[in-house]
A and B are shown apart, each in its own frame.
Chain A
Amino acid sequence: MRIFLTLLRRELASFFCSLSGYVIIAAIALLLGLSFVVLIAGVGSEPFTVPVTEMFYSTFYFWLILLLATPVITMRLFALEKAAGTFETLMTTPVGDVQVVLAKFSAAVIFYLVAWLPLLGCLFIVQHFSNQSGALDAGTVGGMFLGIFLIGSLFLSLGCLASALSRSQMTAALISFVLGVSVFSLAYLAKSAQSKLMAAHWQAKALSFFNLFDQMRDFALGAVNLSAVVFCVSGTFLCLFLTLRVVESRRWK
């Protein structure tokens, strides 16, 4: 545990003490700001029929941030260490492979969540000026951030896997972008296929696990969708397990 915290501290420091870290945060803040402008324009003077969080979600910016930011956040985790040779100094100390993978992944998740914080400010501004109590409450904000955390974890773990597979940051970013787009397309296919089926049909239920769009909308409405939790958590674990195997694989060669 002590070693895990030491590793986590260093990983966080390398995110927050580097220019690239702040460039990523700035880029996400810019996209959030754009979505905020769209949101404000949409609010107008009409009364709210849905919470602000769902309105935010219905802009495409959410997916844009998810697909673009996660590969950039995770690309350096393993690839940079391998390219610089520090992976060798790291793995010849008595640290476990599990600790290394978990510390890197946790640091990426923490950084990702910090980058999302401006959204909170945006939401509160909307609520403050709209003077409508139905616009926002703690539950919907909590649900929104839980969704951002869970789906983000899934995409970040894909990025971890991609970074562990490659020595070049650029390749790692591309692989994780392709993986991310694949998951995204799968969700889209699931959504369109599901709409053609009867809701009670078992195939529809199976497809609903992959339907990230509806899952995320539930979160944005403040409802915790259990199938979404199961899908994201198990997907994250699978990717982290594969990452661990890739890190261990140098011992089999």
Chain B
Amino acid sequence: MSPLPGASGYDGGGFSTVRIVMIQVSNLTKRYAGRTAVNNISFTVARGEIVGLLGPNGAGKSTTMRVLSGFMPATSGTVRVAGFDVFHESDAVRRRIGYMPENNPLYPEMRVREYLKFRARLKGLGWRRSRERVQTVMEQCGLTDVARRIIGQLSKGYKQRVGLADALVHEPELIILDEPTIGLDPQQIRSVRALIKSLAGRHTVLISTHILPEVEMMCSRVLIMLDGRVLASDTPENLQRRMEGGNQVIAEIAAPEAALRVVWENLPEVEQFNVAPGEDDYFRCALTPRAGVDLRPLVFTLAQENGWALRELTRSRHSLEDIYMQVTQPTTEEAE
């Protein structure tokens, strides 16, 4: 983990980790009546990071978040938030966390401003301060137009924003959002994502989701969970780099098939190739390069030299979905 700018010049020995590390989970296990929901997981989250907890339903994401928020105790292991133990110093932790549970529960009979004010007061903000903060978060989350509306009558997108505003209202150091974009339409998802992205740096954010592009878009780091364990933890880019096989290059070229085969055969940078007939006179070539080589300029010059028409040249990147499938696949087979 790289130290953040805020931590430089602070060399208090063991205490320095307190400044840098926001969440420290060590050997966390949570068992419900006979079922192990979270099985001996450990991870750390640095201050200012946006971390995505990714995994299928029932992987233990929500349970992990509930333990982090102090709602439930761990069966074993320790969880520290901002240096405080979530079980023994629950009050200090709860002051520092803005938590939005799954399905975003709200009081449907309250008005938006009234609800946010109530929540701000519960979180220990004074009368004047809570009024200021409620105004700020309502502007931040685009709720000023519906301030006097009853929550139960709002659309799902607005409700979600009320939940987010509630999580932000006391300016917590750590924001935990359990599936914040579930059930929203694409436009609403976009605005919620933009809002979450804007929190980076000032707040540490932990998001759970089972939607892959969301993590790719918002998060600086991904934790992939399955069956109560953390299978991978890295940046989305690094995870992509770790994929076996490297990056394939797809080229669509109008040329005699035999000529194409000969060219690829003789090109030392190409490790494997596959030529398939495409539409019209074009052939679709899938080329796997030797490690670290970018084939695209080479393919372009070749086509130019031979006078072949080239209409597509792309590098197919492995999406997080491939990584996700690859990481989770062997374990599911083992389990069966």
Residues of A within 8 A of B (CB): 2-3, 6-7, 9-10, 13-14, 17-18, 84-86, 88-95, 250-253
Contacts and interface: CB of A to CB of B under 8 A. Distances in A.
Contact of A92 (B70, B102, B118): B70
A85 B122 contact: no
A89 B105 contact: yes
Lowest 10 A-B CB distances belong to which pairs? A85-B105, A6-B121, A86-B105, A94-B94, A93-B122, A92-B69, A88-B101, A92-B99, A94-B95, A93-B123
B313 to A, nearest CB: 51
Given A92-B69, A250-B72, A2 B107 contact: no
A118 B187 CA distance: 53
Q: What does DSSP make chain B's interface, helix, strand, loop or mixed? A: loop
B109 A88 contact: no
A6 B122 contact: yes
Nearest to A9: B118
B16 interface: no
Contacts of B110: 10, 13
Nearest to B103: A85
A243 B102 CA distance: 26
Contacts of A84: 105
21 contacts: A6-B122, A10-B118, A13-B110, A17-B109, A84-B105, A85-B101, A85-B102, A86-B107, A88-B66, A88-B71, A88-B105, A92-B70, A92-B97, A92-B99, A93-B119, A93-B123, A94-B95, A94-B122, A94-B123, A251-B72, A251-B87
A213 B251 CA distance: 93
B196 to A, nearest CB: 18
A89 B94 CA distance: 11
Interface string B274-294: 000000000000000000000
A250 B73 CA distance: 8
Nearest to B96: A94
Contact of A250 (B69, B71, B101): B71
Nearest to A95: B122
Among A84, A85, A88, A253, chain B packs the most CB atoms within 10 A around the CB of: A88
B201 interface: no
Given A6-B121, A6-B122, A94-B94, A14 B107 contact: yes
B327 interface: no
Contact of B73 (A2, A6, A253): A253
B166 interface: yes
B105 A3 contact: no
Contacts of A2: 121
Contacts of A90: 122
B232 interface: no
Interface string B178-208: 0000000000000000000000000000000
Contacts of B32: 253
Contacts of B72: 250-251, 253
B101 A93 contact: no
Contact of A18 (B97, B103, B109, B122): B109
B180 to A, nearest CB: 14
A80 B93 CA distance: 26
A18 B100 CA distance: 26
A91 B118 CA distance: 14
B122 to A, nearest CB: 5
Interface in B118-173: 118-119, 121-124, 166
A26 to B, nearest CB: 19
A91 B122 CA distance: 10
Given A13-B110, A95-B122, 12 more contacts: A6-B122, A86-B107, A88-B66, A88-B69, A89-B100, A92-B69, A92-B70, A94-B94, A94-B123, A250-B72, A253-B72, A253-B73
B69 A14 contact: no
Contact of A94 (B107, B109, B124): B124
A93 B94 contact: yes
Contacts of A91: 71
A92 B71 contact: yes
A252 B71 CA distance: 11
Given A3-B122, A250-B71, A251-B73, A94 B105 contact: no
B106 interface: yes
Interface in B84-116: 87, 91, 94-95, 97, 99-103, 105-107, 109-110
A2 B118 CA distance: 11
